[in-house]
Amino acid sequence: MAICLASASPRRQELLGQIGLRFMLLPQDIDETRLPREAAADYVRRMAGEKALAGIQDVGRPAGLPVLAADTTVVCNEAVLEKPLSQDDAVRMLQLLSGRSHEVLTAVALASENSPRVQLAISRTHVSFRNISLAEAKAYWETGEPADKAGAYGIQGMGAMFVSHIEGSYTNVVGLPLFETLQLLASVGITGLSLLEGAAK
29 is catalytic: no
- Judge if pTM exceeds 0.85: yes
Share of the chain above pLDDT 70, in %: 99
Residue 73's SS3 state is strand
pLDDT digits (tens, 9 = 90+) for 170-193: 999 999 999 999 999 999 999 888
Q: What angle do CA 87, 89, 90 make, to 5 degrees?
A: 65
When pLDDT is cut at 50, 70 and 90, the band that residue 69 belongs to is very high
Question: 29, 31, 58, 71: which is the annotated catalytic residue?
Answer: 71
What mean pLDDT, rounded, does the chain reach? Answer: 94
**Res 193: pLDDT:** 81
Q: How far apart are CA 179 and CA 122, in angstroms?
A: 10
**Res 151: pLDDT:** 96
Average pLDDT over residues 90-106: 97
pLDDT digits (tens, 9 = 90+) for 7-22: 999 999 999 999 999 9
pLDDT digits (tens, 9 = 90+) for 117-159: 899 999 999 999 999 999 999 999 999 999 999 999 999 999 9
**Res 16: pLDDT:** 96
Q: Is the pLDDT of residue 198 over 90?
A: no
How far lies 36's CA from each of 44, 80, 171, in Å? 14, 12, 29
Domains and CATH numbers, the chain: 3-200 (3.90.950.10)
Average pLDDT over residues 27-45: 94
Residue 5's SS3 state is strand
Q: At what angle do helices 134-142 and 87-97 cross, to 10 degrees?
A: 130
